[in-house]
Structure 1
């Protein structure tokens, strides 16, 4: 598939997730088989551009092109200004967030709240496309099927976006009111794909190679986007890519491969965030990597007590020393108690 002048032979993409898809994580996922990755959403308000959080989100040093930046907001002029600002920072594709369901975003008429105001959707899309296309930068739109199940309007939004000049549509198979509950539905994605000429990317509940194959076949989508299923499992991208190409499964990672992946990720993470923020923000990633493994449940509470990157790294090394490097990982079922203990941080995909 193509987005503007960019061609993607690998249809397995990384979904933007606030608090997760930072530069170290995007680079790791691309190394492990993702064909494309979009940044965490960046604020369109110029007053926030110099904040530490936004500055990190605009840092793309060493990242493989095309660098894609997601912008969020409700003011058409600000959104266009933010697009141009991010292009100056290295963005080669601009993605517009109209899918984030969290209250603090929707309460300012941004994210998926925009699905209730199609006139504003049109104004934002026209403003951003008019700012980006003359610079040779394509625009994509990430959205949901509607505000609620009684007002699904993804087809109208998709046709509107196509008419305005948006280059691709990424569609999460849930409404805003569904949040992340229940199962994603793919009928709407299929209907939208059949009606549009621009590429359509399917998103929602894609957590295995078989599910990826099913969603691509059922919806006819040009690519799939993986979000929460890649938390602590970034090798899912190579697993899916291999399965789509061959119909066969890769063997699960060994403890040695997991150790190397996690420690390399943490090293880049620490460099990116620094000592204080790095050790604290790494805890969720460590929890995701290890939560489903036998005997990790007694170890993870200890990780939360460590306040230095050296202590954190050493503790992980010592934990892995108890496992043969060549042994394949065998995950255990995640109970509700385990989920509450190790996946309690509510991160929102956009």
Structure 2
């Protein structure tokens, strides 16, 4: 798969995840296998206004290539301004646009997965980014959901609009915003979109193992896959994906001792990124349960690791694990990370009244990032 001048082999993309896909996590995953590794979502207003928190979030590793940044915007003018900064200061080599965020604070202002319903506004935002990125030859891609809910599906029309605007690929999380992370992803919608577009379509949703990725490509005809929650506590999933797409049968099944070594590496990378041991180890805490899922580790030890504040303390606790414990195959194929129930999508008053209204949602963007 091609992304501008970059060959994406295997055709695997790490999905941006707030508070997860920072420099440290991306480096850890890149050490396992090739692909595109996208930073956390950045709001265009924060990028344009040089929000201090955002300045840290847009950092990339010295050897990170291509530098892939996901932006979120609701205003074509602000989007163009943010992308021009990316171009002028050479901040990234690839820009992905998020139109899939389904959290209340975003959709209630008309942002995220609510935007594609406003087809003209959506098209203006995407075209603003593509046009602003063009002088530097920076490829722009789009990630979105099926629609607001089953009664307001937008993915085919939005995909065609994005294609006409000049994006290099369209990634589809095969759930509606109302589904959030519940139920099963509708892979048939990925096939529908792949049939409708000329640009590559990437599939996202329920890729827990490398075999799921191969099956998604075979069943839908998509050109590649986007992996999110499946790699939480399992960065070696990218090694499995690289092997699978190369036609090799080997899969990584680390013992608990080998997992402990990866955990220590992750914490070490976070400490280096934060520049402070306590902050780095504290940031690592959220990953403990994901790494230890299914392993025979007592609740007291798990809890202690989730409260560690130094590498020395973490080393002591990791040393108490049974390093010979085999990988728990019972957890293979099981969902990881957040799951939640379907919920009505909160939208601005009258949002569904006029699909062709190009008015920029009021107060939709916030001077911060993540979500």
Query: TM > 0.5 between the two?
Result: yes
Q: Does 1:328 align with 2:326?
A: yes
If the length of structure 1 is used for normalisation, what is the TM-score?
0.89
Residue 32 of structure 2 corresponds to which residue in structure 1? 32
Q: Secondary structure at the match of 1:13?
A: strand
Q: Distance in 2 between matches of 1:308 and 1:247?
A: 39
**Do the aligned residues in 2 keep the contact of 1:48 with 1:54 (CA within 8 Å)?**
no
Greater relative contact order structure (CA < 8 Å, 6+ sep): 2
List per-residue Cα deviations over 1:217-239 (Å, max 9, x = no partner): 11111111110010000111111
Following superposition, the deviation at residue 178 of structure 1 comes to: 0.8
Paired residues for 1:125-144 under 5 Å: 125-144=126-145
Following superposition, the deviation at residue 127 of structure 1 comes to: 0.7
Q: Distance in 1 between matches of 2:323 and 2:37?
A: 32
Paired residues for 1:60-75 under 5 Å: 60-75=60-75
Residue 286 of structure 1 corresponds to which residue in structure 2? 288
Following superposition, the deviation at residue 61 of structure 1 comes to: 2.9
Residue 101 of structure 1 corresponds to which residue in structure 2? 102
C-alpha distance 215-319 of structure 1, shift in aligned 2 (>3 A): same
How many residues align? The count is 339
List per-residue Cα deviations over 1:153-194 (Å, max 9, x = no partner): 111111111111111111100011110010000111111111
Following superposition, the deviation at residue 333 of structure 1 comes to: 5.3
Residue 272 of structure 1 corresponds to which residue in structure 2? 273
Q: Secondary structure at the match of 2:21?
A: coil
Q: Which runs of 5+ in 1 are unaligned?
A: none
Q: Which runs of 5+ in 2 are unaligned?
A: 341-369
Following superposition, the deviation at residue 142 of structure 1 comes to: 0.6
List per-residue Cα deviations over 1:75-125 (Å, max 9, x = no partner): 111112222223425300111110111112222322111122111101101
Q: Distance in 1 between matches of 2:212 and 2:55?
A: 36
C-alpha distance 220-266 of structure 1, shift in aligned 2 (>3 A): same
If the length of structure 2 is used for normalisation, what is the TM-score?
0.85
C-alpha distance 113-185 of structure 1, shift in aligned 2 (>3 A): same
Q: Distance in 2 between matches of 1:343 and 1:241?
A: 22
Q: Distance in 1 between matches of 2:339 and 2:175?
A: 21
Residue 184 of structure 1 corresponds to which residue in structure 2? 185
- The two structures, once aligned, show a CA RMSD in angstroms of 2.4
C-alpha distance 331-210 of structure 1, shift in aligned 2 (>3 A): closer
**Do the aligned residues in 1 keep the contact of 2:48 with 2:81 (CA within 8 Å)?**
no
